[in-house]
Chains A and B, each alone.
Chain A
Amino acid sequence: GPKVLQIPSHQIIDMGQMVTLNCDPVSNHLYFYWYKQILGQQMEFLVNFYNGKVMEKSKLFKDQFSVERPDGSYFTLKIQPTALEDSAVYFCASSPWTGGALEQYFGPGTRLTVL
């Protein structure tokens, strides 16, 4: 099926540092998402993005978070500064536009550890 790529697979950083998580969505997809999954729990929606803009964000999407996709390159999630509670697996997802509901395809995730 469609493949979403994420770089890096693991990232360990010190609290207070900045981190950028990169996502390479499926090439013809138009909608992009970030989800956060803490070990043993379900994925939780952070933000969605379309046509260069954030469409909706959850209360988990703190002021320290930002997303962008400059010039059709990677779709990125930046956290600056990081906090201990940001440790989680972050999944990127993308959707095509099918004229109806949007099927979301998930990448392999980036495991972020904040020390």
Chain B
Amino acid sequence: GEQVEQLPSILRVQEGSSASINCTYENSASNYFPWYKQEPGENPKLIIDIRSNMERKQTQGLIVLLDKKAKRFSLHITDTQPGDSAMYFCAASPMGYKLTFGTGTSLLVDP
């Protein structure tokens, strides 16, 4: 199978708190896991990614974790701001040739 499950579908947090989104994948050949942020009417923008040779990656308030045995990966946004409000999509891919996206998480950060 090639499904990517993403939870939660809706996430509402207070400004300054952290937000976590979790994804699981089926295709054991997947070795590339990007995260995209999409604002209404806009294109998806790559915000961070992780390859299968890593378990953790951090950049600018974003942390991604990968557990290959459990086929699970997650995005953690620390110190959320209202500007972080958007749809977030995880994706999984063998080498990035074809992205299979999760169903999306609508994040709302309350000021």
Scoring B residues 71 to 84 as 1 if CB is less than 8 Å from chain A, else 0, what string do you get? 00000000000000
- Tally A-B pairs: CB < 8 A: 62
- Can you sample 30 A-B contacts with CB below 8 Å? A1-B46, A4-B43, A31-B97, A33-B99, A41-B104, A42-B89, A42-B102, A43-B44, A43-B89, A44-B101, A45-B99, A48-B97, A55-B97, A56-B98, A58-B98, A91-B44, A101-B49, A101-B93, A101-B96, A102-B96, A103-B34, A103-B46, A103-B49, A105-B46, A106-B36, A106-B43, A106-B44, A107-B43, A108-B43, A109-B43
Bound-state Cα–Cα, A106 to B47, Å: 12
Give the total of A residues in contact with B, Cβ under 8 Å. 26
- Which A residues touch B99, using CB under 8 A? 33, 35, 43, 45, 104
Whether the pair B103, A41 counts as a contact (CB closer than 8 A) is yes
Bound-state Cα–Cα, A105 to B44, Å: 8
Whether the pair A42, B42 counts as a contact (CB closer than 8 A) is no
B68 on interface, CB distance cutoff 8 Å = no
Q: Using CB atoms, name the residue of chain A closest to B43.
A: A106
Given contacts A4-B43, A33-B99, A103-B46, 10 further A-B contacts (CB under 8 A): A42-B103, A42-B104, A95-B96, A103-B49, A103-B96, A104-B34, A104-B99, A105-B46, A108-B42, A109-B43
- Which B residues touch A109, using CB under 8 A? 43
- Which B residues touch A72, using CB under 8 A? none
